[in-house]
Each structure stands twice: as structure tokens, then as C-alpha cells.
Amino acid sequence: MVTEILTFLGAMIVLFIILKVISIPVKIIVKLLINALIGGVVLFLINLTGLIALDITWITALIVGFLGIPGVIIVIVLHFLL
């Protein structure tokens, strides 16, 4: 009886540690997805207005995806500089 309880507690501790290690990357991935979604919507809305014609390439998608709104600002500044 005592061995079964200790085994169960040990398994729960191991499971807790594994879930804690896995939850960190999941939080980072969710944050990147939210940044990418918001940045992509803003980039689309800017193109929709017709004031600035930004090309949506894989480079601009990466910049906006990783940085979000600041990435959109960087893409706009680079558009005017280059």
C-alpha cells in the first residue's frame, strides 16, 4: 500500500516536471502566433487602404511574424528607405 502511494506520488512529480518543461515552449509559440496574426492583419489593412503598397514576401512575413506591430513599422520604414 505504501509503495503504491510512493510510486503514484513519484509519477505525479515526474509528470509535473515534464509538463513544466513543455509548457515554456508552448507559451513562446502561442506568443509568436499572436504576434504573427496581429502583424499580418495590420499589414493587410495597410495594403487594403492603398496608401502604401507593401509587397508581402517571405522576408516581410518573417519580420512581421516575429516582431508583430514593431515589425510592420520596420517594414514600412524600410519600404520608404529602399
Please say whether the beta carbons of 43 and 54 come within 8 A.
yes
Which pLDDT belongs to residue 11?
Answer: 78
Task: Tell me the average pLDDT across 49-66.
Answer: 82
- pLDDT classification of 74: cutoffs 50, 70, 90: very high
Question: pTM of this prediction?
Answer: 0.64
Please say whether the beta carbons of 61 and 47 come within 8 A.
no
Q: Which domain holds residue 14?
A: 2-81
Residue 77 pLDDT > 90:
yes
Which pLDDT belongs to residue 68?
Answer: 83
Nearest Cα neighbor of 41 from 75, 76, 65, 77 is 65
Q: List all residues 6 or more positions away from 49 whose beta carbon is below 8 Å from its beta carbon.
A: none
What is the count of structural domains for the chain? 1
- What is the pLDDT of the chain when averaged over all its residues? 82
- pLDDT classification of 28: cutoffs 50, 70, 90: confident
Nearest Cα neighbor of 75 from 30, 42, 32, 34 is 42
